[in-house]
């Protein structure tokens, strides 16, 4: 956060930005609130006081703190023994065994110091920041650590797990899992990638337009876009913009959707006239993509236990012109009403998507506070839930139909292992090779027969998707 930056000829008011950023950060790290909700609450209240450029600065400061918290602490408080870090210690406000025994500030004092250190890490002189933020002499000394960063030679002395933990501001157990699955180099690349800003990717709504026509419409609003490499209806914007304010969005010409997420919809392969279900629809990003594939013909059911999110899908469907979506709140134990026809007969689905609740490890760059809720135990809890979901919905697919399982996680515990256990227990299912269901441009995105994307390898969020066919 550079306090000397200017926008529209007006200097940013650092004191207002700092106060708002600290309030949102304290709500996340102190009170456990979701970052997006905490930020929205603060910015809505301060909407009349802050310029739009200042609101952006508040958001950038909050995201910067969440993405670099552990590195900031390392730089300020040092390491007691650089070779350590393979344990499963916690992080955050309690120093793990890798940090020195220096008594650190806590609460708002610590949060304030981290925000000052972030400004130094981003290039401002430590003395200037210390004076600007009225830091005490002892705090000024700590701040100088952030100015030198961590020398490469010193960083490379750390264990692979600690390197990944510091770069990604991750817990040691999650960092250890990544190193085990990706190798030290791959895990470090992943940790660095989740600290970068995710691209702003759109999906052209085929019910109303084409990718080429959308690109022209966006150009008419002064925005450059480039086609995504794999997803045939995707566009990536070249600049950051409030996409919801665009005329093209208000007219329903596009939805915001990561390229990897668009590929999951392609693996479902919905066709006009079919009977399709999105079992964990949420706010409906993939549901809307399926509706476009179906050209408005056939039945598309959106299930979810969260009625509030289904209400959001209803609004999005109206804007998109997707009129064949049938929304049904789901009971966690009872089967969907959509399984029964008016005459009481059973009506199975041609294709069913389970975009399962997961750790969100693959989409962490979009939801940076996710990393503070992750642990190996949490991943195992999600895996149990995912196995139960697959077993629950397996009988709702027609013989010869397709069951598609997806997560936004890069952990095999939630992906390959879940699918392997399902196939072992359900002999009437087999995996379809994903490479035969995706465009040729997707070469290199398939591993073990399933779609596998990562931010450091493909620039997309991290997704896993397996297409399973029920034997006829």
In whole angstroms, what is the distance from residue 82 CA to residue 100 CA? Answer: 10
Closest CA to 453 of 231, 196, 179, 204: 231
**Which residues contact residue 17 at a Cβ distance below 8 angstroms, ignoring those fewer than 6 apart?**
1, 3, 50, 54, 57, 58, 61
CA distances from 372 to 28, 360, 408, 454 (A): 9, 12, 17, 20
φ, ψ dihedrals at 462, nearest 5°: -85, 115
User: Residue 202's CB: how many other CB atoms inside 10 A?
Assistant: 28
8-state DSSP, 433:
P
Quick one: which H or E segment has residue 141?
helix 137-148
The CA-to-CA distance between both ends of the chain, in Å, stands at 59
For residue 257, give the 3-state DSSP assignment: coil
Burial letters for 69-88: b for 16+ Cβ neighbours within 10 Å, e otherwise?
bbbbbbbbbebeebebbeee
Catalytic annotation, pick one of 230, 408, 442, 465: 408
Helices and strands: H and E segment counts in the chain: 17, 15
Strand boundaries in 207-365, DSSP class E: 225-227, 234-237, 254-256, 275-278, 299-304, 325-329, 349-355
Tokens 């079992």, located at residue: 279
In whole angstroms, what is the distance from residue 16 CA to residue 9 CA? Answer: 18
Closest CA to 230 of 460, 470, 467: 460
- 408 catalytic residue (yes or no): yes
Burial of 306 from C-beta contacts in 10 A (0-12 / 13-18 / 19+): middle
Closest CA to 445 of 201, 193, 261, 206: 261
Tokens describing residue 119? 């400004």
CB 288 within 8 A of CB 299: no
Give the ranges where 303-409 is alpha helix by DSSP (H).
307-320, 376-393
In whole angstroms, what is the distance from residue 227 CA to residue 216 CA? Answer: 12
Catalytic residues: 408
């Amino acid at each position: 956060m550079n306090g000397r930056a200017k926008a529209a000829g007006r200097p940013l008011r650092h004191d207002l930005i700092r106060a708002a950023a600290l309030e949102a950060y304290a709500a996340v790290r102190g009170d456990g609130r979701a970052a997006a909700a905490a930020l929205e609450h603060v910015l809505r209240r301060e909407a009349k006081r802050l310029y739009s450029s200042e609101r952006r600065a508040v958001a950038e400061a909050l995201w910067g703190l969440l993405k670099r918290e552990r590195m900031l602490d390392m730089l300020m408080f040092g390491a007691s023994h650089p070779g350590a870090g393979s344990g499963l210690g916690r992080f955050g406000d309690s120093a793990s065994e890798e940090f020195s025994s220096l008594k650190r500030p806590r609460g708002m004092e610590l949060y304030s110091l981290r925000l000052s250190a972030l400004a130094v890490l981003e290039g401002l002189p430590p003395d200037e920041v210390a004076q600007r933020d009225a830091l005490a002499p002892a705090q000024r000394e700590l701040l100088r650590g952030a100015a030198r960063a961590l020398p490469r030679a010193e960083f490379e002395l750390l264990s692979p797990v600690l390197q990944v933990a510091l770069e990604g501001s991750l817990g040691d157990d999650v960092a250890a899992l990544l190193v085990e699955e990706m190798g030290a180099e791959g895990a470090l690349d992943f940790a660095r990638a989740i600290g970068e800003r995710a691209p702003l990717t759109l999906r052209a709504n085929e019910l109303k337009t084409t990718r080429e026509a959308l690109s022209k419409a966006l150009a008419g609003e002064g925005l450059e876009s480039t086609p995504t490499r794999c997803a045939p209806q995707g566009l990536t914007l070249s600049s950051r913009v409030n996409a919801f304010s665009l005329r093209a969005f208000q007219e329903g010409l596009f939805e915001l959707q990561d390229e990897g997420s668009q590929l999951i919809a392609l693996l479902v392969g919905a066709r006009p006239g079919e009977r399709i279900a999105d079992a964990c629809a949420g706010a409906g990003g993939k549901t809307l993509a399926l509706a476009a594939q179906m050209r408005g013909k056939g039945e598309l059911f959106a299930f979810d236990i969260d009625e509030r999110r289904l209400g959001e899908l209803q609004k999005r469907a109206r804007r998109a012109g997707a009129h064949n979506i049938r929304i049904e709140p789901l009971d966690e134990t009872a089967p969907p009403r959509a399984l029964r026809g008016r005459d009481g007969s059973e009506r199975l689905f041609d294709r069913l998507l389970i975009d399962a609740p997961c750790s969100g490890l693959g989409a962490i760059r979009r939801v940076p506070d996710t990393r503070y809720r992750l642990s190996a135990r949490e991943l195992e809890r999600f895996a149990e839930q995912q196995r139960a979901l697959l077993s629950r919905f397996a009988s709702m697919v027609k013989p010869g139909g397709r069951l598609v399982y997806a997560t936004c996680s890069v952990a095999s515990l939630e992906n390959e292992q879940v699918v392997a256990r399902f196939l072992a227990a359900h002999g009437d299912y087999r995996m379809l090779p994903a490479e035969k269901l995706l465009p040729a441009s997707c070469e290199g995105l398939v591993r073990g027969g399933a779609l596998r994307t990562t931010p450091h390898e493909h620039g997309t969020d991290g997704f896993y998707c397996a297409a399973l066919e029920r034997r006829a």
